[in-house]
Amino acid sequence: MGWGKSMNKDNIKIKRALISVSDKTGIIDFAKALSDAGVEIISTGGTAKLLKENSIAATNVADITNFPEIMDGRVKTLHPKIHGGILGMRDAHERTAKEHDISFIDLVVVNLYPFAKTIAKDNVTLDSAIENIDVGGPTMIRAAAKNFSWVGVVVDPKDYSAISDSLSKGLDFDKRQMLATKAFQHTAEYDNLIYGYLANKAADAKTLHLKKFADLRYGENPHQKATAYKFPNINSGVLSATQHQGKPLSFNNMSDADSAYQCVSEFDYPACVIVKHANPCGAARGNTISDAYLTALKADPLSAFGGIVALNKTCDKDTAKEIIKIFSEVIIAPSFTDDALQILQSKPNLRVLSLERYADFDKDYKFINGGLLIQEKDNSIFNIDDLKVVTKRLPTENELQAMTFSWPVLKQMKSNAILVAKENMTVGVGVGQVSRVDAVELAIKKAKAGLENCILASDAFFPFRDSIDIIAKTNIKAIIQPGGSVKDNEVIEACNEHGIAMVFTGKRCFKH
């Protein structure tokens, strides 16, 4: 076997290009640039038809192979005259190419059948999915990427301009290597998507498909590098938001904005949630979205400074006027009125995001060293009829309303979590504590003196009566908690001694 040079690092002149694309974005202008530069174009099926309709000369692949497209288009480019033209090394294989009448191909422009879009449809059939598995496309891409020493390969329309700029001087080695790397990433993601679809159909398997979204300025701390990845074809979540103004989102911004918007999306009435360091520091509901914001801010104005503000209704000018009075990192809402956006522009560093209400995902993912944890998402809906009153004193109507408001907020707080709330706002939070009694003391301390007509919510059961004895020293007269402790009777008896109402939900809402 005769090998060529280990690697050709010279610029390559593009004389002959093969174009076969499913996504035809920008292809007319790009093909015209190639044609104007004297590049011979080879093409297939619909792409060749489109080029000719736009007066761009293109030779059909069937005229090169002397073999028609067959089997409903399944076989058209899988031929030695195509793959020999792509894979041949110009120094070692020139004689072989001449013997078999193979002309070298210098540029391969291919993107693949839309498998991801096909399987995203609600009514997709297995037959339809299978027919949208590309075979010839990945084969040409991989061949060109393997032979990037001599061939350029383009899978992304965003790279067309870079190729056009190289037509006169030739395509340099570094650019060819970058394009080849991108091509292998493209085919790897494509194959992994197919594998995942078939595996999920065949068995109880789960695969994740992620696409790089952006490099971030840094991670949780400035010395940590960070990157954001996105699930393809998922148009819900912070990475799908429209950013109207402000600096790029940081790692912490994205995490906190996600937490805030998930929480506020739990409510149907006008609501606001302000998150600081991954936890709600203020949440409220109101008659208007402006009322909700002001009430949420009142819950803990000190912690709200530099926080993430999430609204579940359109941000209007009245709300915007209030928001700009203190420093916030991010404001996120389903939409903004034009005058609200104009007002927010007075804070050019404020990141302003619009995003439709969160879709209900069915899974939560958490990466750990060496693996991945997957659980069902806590999409449980609070139903007041499911509450079990376990004490002599019954909760009042206002206390029950406060409980229904507090539970969705509590679900977004880090365990151990205690929330003190009124019927329309949070008053004090105790989060991330290693004991429940510490969380109770912290929540009461944060609430300060504003404990009149408040309830206390706990994300898990009370293991001992000590927390109840602390609560009894305040004006809190009602508690909501999951129940389920071996000490439940002792805890209930403590509530009865102190004249406190307690209800059990039967479900805890830990969030680690």
Q: Kindly list the catalytic residues.
A: 146, 277
In this structure, the chain runs to a length of 512
Site of tokens 């032979």? 147
Q: Where are the alpha helices (DSSP H) in 373-504?
A: 397-410, 436-447, 466-471, 488-498
Question: Does residue 289 sit in helix, strand or coil?
Answer: helix
In 3D, which of 412, 410, 463 has the Cα closest to residue 437? 463
DSSP secondary structure letter of residue 241: P
* Angle value at C-alpha 422, between 418 and 425, nearest 5 degrees: 85
* Structure-token pair, residue 496: 């009865």
| Whole-number Å distance between alpha carbons of 57 and 68 | 19
Q: Identify whether 383 is preceded by a cis peptide bond (ω within 30 of 0).
A: no
Q: Is 13 exposed, middle or buried (0-12, 13-18, 19+ CB in 10 A)?
A: middle
Beta-carbon contacts of 235 under 8 Å, excluding residues fewer than 6 positions away, are: none
| Whole-number Å distance between alpha carbons of 274 and 312 | 12
User: DSSP string of 188-219?
Assistant: HHHHHHHHHHHHHHHSS------EEEEEES-S
- b/e for 155-179, b at 16 or more Cβ within 10 A? bebebbeebbebbeeebeeebbeeb
Question: Does residue 492 sit in helix, strand or coil?
Answer: helix
Backbone angles phi, psi at 50, to 5 degrees: -65, -40
| Whole-number Å distance between alpha carbons of 501 and 153 | 70
- 141: enclosing H helix or E strand: helix 136-146
Beta-carbon contacts of 330 under 8 Å, excluding residues fewer than 6 positions away, are: 246, 249, 253, 256, 257, 308, 309, 350, 351, 352, 353
Q: Which amino acid is at 460?
A: A
Backbone angles phi, psi at 478, to 5 degrees: -150, 140
Q: Is 366 exposed, middle or buried (0-12, 13-18, 19+ CB in 10 A)?
A: exposed
Q: Which amino acid is at 442?
A: L
